[in-house]
Structure 1
Amino acid sequence: MSYTSIQLTFAWSVFFLIVIVGLSVGLSAWLYRETIPPVSQVRRRILIILRSAAFAIAFFILFEPILDLQYEEKEKPIVAVLIDASESMSIRDAQGDRQQQRRGVLDHRMWADHADAWDIRYFTFSDRLYPSDHKPSDTLALTGHATDMRTALEQTQSLFIGKHLAAYVMITDGQYNIGGDPGGFAQVSDVPVFTLGIGDPAESRDVAIVQISHNETAYLGATIPVTVTLSSYGYQGKRIDVEILHNGKRVQNKIVVLPEDGALTQVTMDVIPDEIGDQKYTVRASPLLGELSDRNNQRAFVIRVLKNKTSVTLISGAPGPDHRFIYSVLIENPNLDVRAYVEQKNGTLTELEQPPGRTSPTEADVYIFNDYPTNTSDPSTLQRFLQDISDNNRSAAIFFGIYIEVGRLQSIQSRLPIKAKPDASLQESSVFIGMSGSASQSTIVAVSDDPGETMRQWADLPPVWISRYAVAASEESDVLARVDMSRATNTLRLRNDIPLLITKRLRQQKTLAFTGYGFWKADFIIKGLNKSNAVYPAFIQQSVQWLAAKDDTKPVIVRAGKSVYRSGEAVMLTTQVYDEQFRPISDANVNVTLQNGSASHMHAMQPLGNGRYEITLDGLMPGDYPITSSAERFGALIGTDKTAVTVEAFSLEMSSTAMNARTLQTIASASGGRFFASSGIDSLAGVMNFQPLIFEREKNIPVWNAAALLILIILLLSAEWWIRKRSDML
């Protein structure tokens, strides 16, 4: 801080202050020209000074002096250094040891030379961001199971809002395998990103199973194709044995000739499940001599095997485009038997003909009412459906539309997840979907293993439509999605909360409601942008699976986020606890026990409210883990449930290990930064020239109300009185 101006200002003219002070000094001198009794001239002068000073300070205060200070304040530029701590940063390639390259960058003299001029903040990142209060040591643990560069940049940005963030420096191999495109962040960033590439831009010799495509759910005895995608570098023309194992036994195998470097090759094999339940299979590619790692030569997958196909009855209130979209999604699933009806203008229903090779189910496991019932729907037909839902605990989904009359569902109102009343003041409006927190753990909306990616894909959807109903969630229901009020019109914001996707569980029944409509419109828009619409088809298929599943109507239900986790990935478990009336219990003691060979480990789950409990387990070694969840209340056992997860040795970080120079160049160029290989740290130092922000500050300090001046006046007058008293003066 350096002062540029120091001034003392007064409420009135300084000239008058000087005149008044001069007069007060003259008056003091005149009053003490003679004293009774006479005192020495020295004593009279002291008395004149004391009284004159008291008068001068008093008049000084009356003129309300203010000290005006102007100064410069400097804010150091913040340089955020983001260091990749994922597993791929630990390997040795043709460029040498990546850990050694990272140490060389961090030990460069640039950081010490600018330690006083810059505010250097260090972070490490992999699948999440970790702030550090010091420069990471040489023994930094490089164990991150995945790399999310965009989230690391976004979270760093959020930490320095309103501060002088001058640059990001990313020390990384540039391989991101979860999260969004970091280039998108760079395009809108007003802070440059300087990227330092670690490693060799050429891939190491390796074979990896990068993807396994299969049906998540299948039926006993059905033939399930499994497509395995392999990537390979350095083994063009080599033959490799790819096999599928179940319970340690080979199910099928094929010999594959590996293609040119960088090309993907696919092999399709079949499995025929012969057991009901979650069946784990393992795909294994035989290791080849000289591979970087054989951990990616084996991957697991799980198929949920059901005894019978699911029967779905779809009733639409009109032959509109939403009906065609929903029907086409359902009919594409060979594991569903679909019976579809469309209401005609006179209120009667017409059944659609079955596609070749398909038969109509005789009864429904799941009902889907799409824009049904309407005000013209035949009462007896509607009552037959509603009676079946009530008497036989059929699960049901309600998709809203323009013509739906929710009031005609009164007989099953207690089973529905919503309360809806028509409101003439409401108009048809387009809205965007905003997912709730509980949606991240729901299989109904999942489109990715990464909950963040699922949320992003739903947020990126075109708008849907809502109409004339004021909708609220009913008791004990779960709202998975709401209208995104940040992108809603001012009129809609007055309604505060508008649920869009709501579910409800009863003892032997589940219901679902989606209060928007216009699936076809969103699908049309997405395809018009040459993109694939994976969200809505997955949502419809997974809604049917959720509605049809009867195994989650128990008092205690434990679920893993997924069946197979990668090495190092956090395992997420949730438990739901219900009483006999299927009301959530939120004050239970819930524990999960993991069995690993002969050892078992118990962990207490944390309550989330509404009967939900959660735990995240880090650091599980590769293997199979049977899991038992138990819930107690007041010392009494409510129930138990079991599941299992597999932690596979497969490492996402090892699926592609080359330094991704293109991504790093894109990030740097789009943000106004520069890209350098790790050997170019000297060149980076040459362009990192950041200046502090200089702020002109002004501070006004009122002097006239300072207590010290009043105390000084009192001391001066007290001193005068004391001298007069000692001199016996009148």
Structure 2
Amino acid sequence: MLGISKLLLNLQERNLEMVIGLFILAILFAIFTYRHTFPPLSKRKKTLLLALRIVALFSLFLVLSEPILTIARRHVQKPVIALLLDTSGSMNLKGTDIKRIEALQNLLKNDIFKKISYLAELKTFGFADSLIPMNLERKFPDSLGNATSIGDAIELVVKKLSRQNLRGIVILSDGANNLGEDPVLVARSTNIPIYTRGVGEYIPPKDVSIERMVYNDIAYVDDQIPVQVDISQTGFDQLKIPVSIKEKKNTLAQQNLNLGKSGATQTVDLTIIPKEAGLHRYDLAIPVLDGESVKENNRRSFTIKVLKSKIAILLISGSLNWEYTFLKRALEKDKNIELKTLVYGTKGQPVLGRFPQGEKQLSLFDILIFIDPPGFILKSHEKEIEDFVFSKGGSTLFLLGKEFMDTHGFMETSSLLPFDPAGRSITFSSANINLKLTEEGKLHPVTRLVENSEENEKIWSDLPPFLGVVILGSVTKDASNLAGFRNPQIPDVFSPGIVVRNYGKGKVMAITTTPFWRWDFLLWGIGKDNQIYQTFWNNSVRWLVVREDMDLINLFTDKKIYKGGERITFKAKIFDQNYQKIGDASVGVNIKGEALPDSELVNLSLDELGNYTATLRALPPGRYSFEGKVFRDGKKLGVKKGEFLVEEYSVEDSDLKTDFDLLKRIAEVSGGEYYQKEQIENLTGDLNLVEKEKQKTKEIQLWNHPLLLAIFVLCLSIEWAVRKRSQLL
């Protein structure tokens, strides 16, 4: 309902009294002028001329007094209820009698939703991995989504209806959330009550599925690569099935599995031996059996980056110490590492090995590891080390300690270390230091000690503390702090502990906490082993040795293979001739695929780290190719091509159970209600269907309006024409 609630005219001119006085005098003069005319005019014509003069003077008065007309309109908004319907793939599963989606359709026939639409405006949306408007009177979509993102659906509907009187959200779902934001956290932050009702039931379907694959994603030519596969089944006990790994059409490994008791998970160990270096894509498959309810989970794909030779590492230590001893032993355990050592004595002379002489000898190594290096070592080989990393694509790892305090000369001139030159005041603090993962560290391959994120964070929090730390200030803009600590000297500052960066064609890693060998030695004393210590160094070596594409244009997807329902993320790094990042380029990616009717264009935007990123919605299963074009100042810098695969296996297939407890928590934290079966009848009474009154105010600057000028000119023109026709002096 619309209505004018306020109409106000404000005059802004400071000398308003003088303007009004002049206006009155001008009108009196006009009246005096037309009181006696020559030749005499009729009263009607005099009145017309006087009226035209007064209107012209009034328009001039409005211009001089600078009036603003304020119009306020009152608008009463009808309450809005958002109805979110789960249209994901899990809704296609059958319960005792009917599918979950059919149970949902039956529930929508309840008169309760007609009552709500009468009392409020009912906005209906379907959600899976995205949000789409729906009409209750039309048929449900035939294509069900490959993922369920309840949190994203809540966020999107709140944003979409932000200007309306949204009084509540009703969610009808099986609760099987598997993508996007945590729906409980989102529900808590919306300040809108959410009412939920569980739909469907879980009866284990007759199915054989690949539950998990464990393998190393980096290997070497002619290495035996173990692939551990977990297979679960329901309803197919006592059958024998083949489990195979293929590359293209070639079967590389196969083993028969005798299926055990229904509901059990069994492990199969396979081995593949790559013969060529490069990125290899493998397909793991089990046959589709008669009567299976889900066939998409019978096939999985994975990639392994195969390197051509062993990793050559030079381990350099300022002295023969425990850090050197433990790290040397850990590196020697890896048969893919060819290790050479260099140890300096008390007089600064090598007692074991020697530093490579010349570029040719240095280029034989992939990684240089420095353990608490004294300043003279770094300073005397500064140019060779920087060239080894920046130009030749080698990598360096620095374990810093007390001896590193004597490196001021190197710190002042070198740009190799990933610390800000403006803040390189070096201090050493003897204190118990526990490292805490940063958000980037939670995902980085160096600091991911186990696959499960929550378990990984717990492992880091339980590790023995370090006894000292080199404090070097902030990191460079192109570096990433993976783990840090509260500065013992300035508790409010979170200082870097494990820092990585790309430097030219190579990589640099620096660790400021010491000693690291405590992760090995102390864990044995509490009944554990040194697996965490070993894993950390294995991760670090593999990250350092894997060469990223260091062309001036580096464009890629965050994965080579996606599950159905996963969103596609593009990333790009653009460099100039000095390998400095370019932040003012435009990057567009054109995507083509067998499942796309037309190609799609995605524009990447610059993030806070100086990289270009874009996240695309989930795509249908199939192979896709992309071509990225980079422009700067209207000039094309280059083109980059690539490809990725979306599996038939989707995130929706990974867990088919209903999760009504999640729906209960969403309702509880938002101030809404969760309904069991017939309790949905209480929904109308629980909804707070209150109208909301809004007032929209509009200000019009009359003095600046072109209509006033038109009226002024028109009135004077008509007056002049009448006076001339009447031969009036």
TM-score (norm 1): 0.65
State the match for 1:398 in structure 2.
398
In structure 1, runs of 5+ residues without a counterpart are 1-74, 353-360, 694-730
Whichever residue aligns with residue 616 of structure 2, its letter is: L
State the match for 2:88 in structure 1.
86
CA distance in 2, matches of 1:132, 1:528: 60
Whichever residue aligns with residue 416 of structure 1, its letter is: L
CA distance in 1, matches of 2:179, 2:525: 27
Secondary structure, counterpart of 2:438 in structure 1 = strand
Cα RMSD (Å): 5.5
Cα shift at 1:149? 5.5
Secondary structure, counterpart of 2:297 in structure 1 = helix
State the match for 2:262 in structure 1.
261
State the match for 2:425 in structure 1.
422
Match of 2:606 among 599, 605, 608: 608
| 1:306 paired to 2:310 | no
Cα shift at 1:205? 0.9
Contact 2:313–2:369 (CA under 8 A) maintained in structure 1: yes
State the match for 1:276 in structure 2.
277
State the match for 1:553 in structure 2.
550
Secondary structure, counterpart of 1:203 in structure 2 = coil
Contact 1:434–1:459 (CA under 8 A) maintained in structure 2: no
Contact 2:236–2:262 (CA under 8 A) maintained in structure 1: yes
State the match for 1:147 in structure 2.
148
Secondary structure, counterpart of 1:308 in structure 2 = coil
Contact 1:523–1:533 (CA under 8 A) maintained in structure 2: yes
> Which deviates more from structure 2 when the two are superposed, residues 318-327 or residues 414-423?
318-327
**Distance change >3 Å, CA 97–CA 336, structure 1 → 2:** same
Whichever residue aligns with residue 583 of structure 2, its letter is: S
Contact 2:80–2:168 (CA under 8 A) maintained in structure 1: yes
State the match for 1:246 in structure 2.
247
Whichever residue aligns with residue 94 of structure 1, its letter is: T
CA distance in 2, matches of 1:633, 1:573: 19
| 1:236 paired to 2:237 | yes
**Distance change >3 Å, CA 588–CA 157, structure 1 → 2:** closer
Secondary structure, counterpart of 1:88 in structure 2 = helix
**Distance change >3 Å, CA 107–CA 398, structure 1 → 2:** farther
1:3-32 deviation per Cα after TM superposition (whole angstroms, max 9, x unaligned): xxxxxxxxxxxxxxxxxxxxxxxxxxxxxx
State the match for 1:567 in structure 2.
564
State the match for 1:373 in structure 2.
373
Secondary structure, counterpart of 1:404 in structure 2 = helix
Contact 2:589–2:627 (CA under 8 A) maintained in structure 1: yes
1:371-393 deviation per Cα after TM superposition (whole angstroms, max 9, x unaligned): x1257xxx459845974554574
Alignment of 1:109-124 (within 5 A): 109-111=111-113, 113=115
**Distance change >3 Å, CA 334–CA 646, structure 1 → 2:** farther
CA distance in 2, matches of 1:518, 1:152: 48
**Distance change >3 Å, CA 508–CA 663, structure 1 → 2:** closer
Cα shift at 1:206? 1.3
**Distance change >3 Å, CA 549–CA 482, structure 1 → 2:** closer
Whichever residue aligns with residue 605 of structure 1, its letter is: N
TM-score (norm 2): 0.65
1:247-303 deviation per Cα after TM superposition (whole angstroms, max 9, x unaligned): 222222222122222211221222111222111111111110011121211111111
Contact 1:122–1:136 (CA under 8 A) maintained in structure 2: no
1:506-553 deviation per Cα after TM superposition (whole angstroms, max 9, x unaligned): 443322334456767789999999999999876654443343234522
CA distance in 2, matches of 1:525, 1:691: 60
| 1:685 paired to 2:682 | yes
Secondary structure, counterpart of 2:474 in structure 1 = strand
CA distance in 2, matches of 1:230, 1:566: 18
Secondary structure, counterpart of 2:415 in structure 1 = helix
Whichever residue aligns with residue 103 of structure 2, its letter is: Q
State the match for 1:577 in structure 2.
574
**Distance change >3 Å, CA 421–CA 272, structure 1 → 2:** same
State the match for 1:227 in structure 2.
228
1:162-205 deviation per Cα after TM superposition (whole angstroms, max 9, x unaligned): xx999986533233445798789999999998753333322111
CA distance in 2, matches of 1:489, 1:107: 64
Contact 1:433–1:459 (CA under 8 A) maintained in structure 2: no
State the match for 1:97 in structure 2.
99
State the match for 1:505 in structure 2.
502
> Which deviates more from structure 2 when the two are superposed, residues 578-587 or residues 505-514?
505-514
Cα shift at 1:318? 7.7
CA distance in 2, matches of 1:80, 1:529: 55
Whichever residue aligns with residue 438 of structure 2, its letter is: G
In structure 2, runs of 5+ residues without a counterpart are 1-76, 354-361, 691-729
State the match for 1:659 in structure 2.
658
Contact 1:149–1:176 (CA under 8 A) maintained in structure 2: yes
**Distance change >3 Å, CA 324–CA 109, structure 1 → 2:** farther
Contact 1:123–1:131 (CA under 8 A) maintained in structure 2: yes
Secondary structure, counterpart of 2:268 in structure 1 = strand
State the match for 2:704 in structure 1.
none
CA distance in 2, matches of 1:85, 1:542: 40
Cα shift at 1:630? 4.0
**Distance change >3 Å, CA 630–CA 457, structure 1 → 2:** farther
Secondary structure, counterpart of 2:107 in structure 1 = helix
Whichever residue aligns with residue 309 of structure 1, its letter is: K
Contact 2:104–2:199 (CA under 8 A) maintained in structure 1: yes
1:197-242 deviation per Cα after TM superposition (whole angstroms, max 9, x unaligned): 3333221111111222211011112121122221211111122222
Alignment of 1:306-705 (within 5 A): 306-315=307-316, 330=331, 333-339=334-340, 363-370=364-371, 372-374=372-374, 379=376, 383=380, 387-388=384-385, 390=387, 393=392, 394-401=394-401, 404-405=404-405, 406-407=407-408, 409-410=410-411, 413-418=414-419, 419=421, 421-422=424-425, 428=431, 432-435=436-439, 461-462=460-461, 467=469, 469-474=471-476, 477-481=478-482, 491-493=490-492, 498-516=495-513, 540-594=537-591, 596=593, 601=599, 603-608=601-606, 612-633=611-632, 637-660=636-659, 680-682=677-679, 685=682, 689=686
Whichever residue aligns with residue 657 of structure 1, its letter is: L
**Distance change >3 Å, CA 369–CA 98, structure 1 → 2:** same
Contact 1:461–1:522 (CA under 8 A) maintained in structure 2: no
Secondary structure, counterpart of 1:607 in structure 2 = strand
CA distance in 2, matches of 1:435, 1:265: 35
Whichever residue aligns with residue 435 of structure 1, its letter is: E
Contact 1:202–1:659 (CA under 8 A) maintained in structure 2: no
Contact 1:298–1:650 (CA under 8 A) maintained in structure 2: yes
Whichever residue aligns with residue 649 of structure 1, its letter is: E
State the match for 2:74 in structure 1.
none
Contact 1:441–1:561 (CA under 8 A) maintained in structure 2: no
| 1:199 paired to 2:200 | yes
> Which deviates more from structure 2 when the two are superposed, residues 618-627 or residues 132-141?
132-141
Identity %: 23
Secondary structure, counterpart of 1:243 in structure 2 = strand
Secondary structure, counterpart of 2:682 in structure 1 = helix
State the match for 2:36 in structure 1.
none
> Which deviates more from structure 2 when the two are superposed, residues 182-191 or residues 223-232?
182-191
**Distance change >3 Å, CA 594–CA 671, structure 1 → 2:** closer
Whichever residue aligns with residue 174 of structure 2, its letter is: D
Contact 2:519–2:532 (CA under 8 A) maintained in structure 1: no
**Distance change >3 Å, CA 665–CA 618, structure 1 → 2:** closer
CA distance in 1, matches of 2:519, 2:187: 28
1:287-326 deviation per Cα after TM superposition (whole angstroms, max 9, x unaligned): 1001112121111111111111222334466888877886
Secondary structure, counterpart of 2:544 in structure 1 = helix
CA distance in 1, matches of 2:326, 2:150: 37
Secondary structure, counterpart of 1:473 in structure 2 = coil
Cα shift at 1:629? 3.4
Cα shift at 1:635? 5.9
**Distance change >3 Å, CA 691–CA 175, structure 1 → 2:** closer
State the match for 2:719 in structure 1.
none
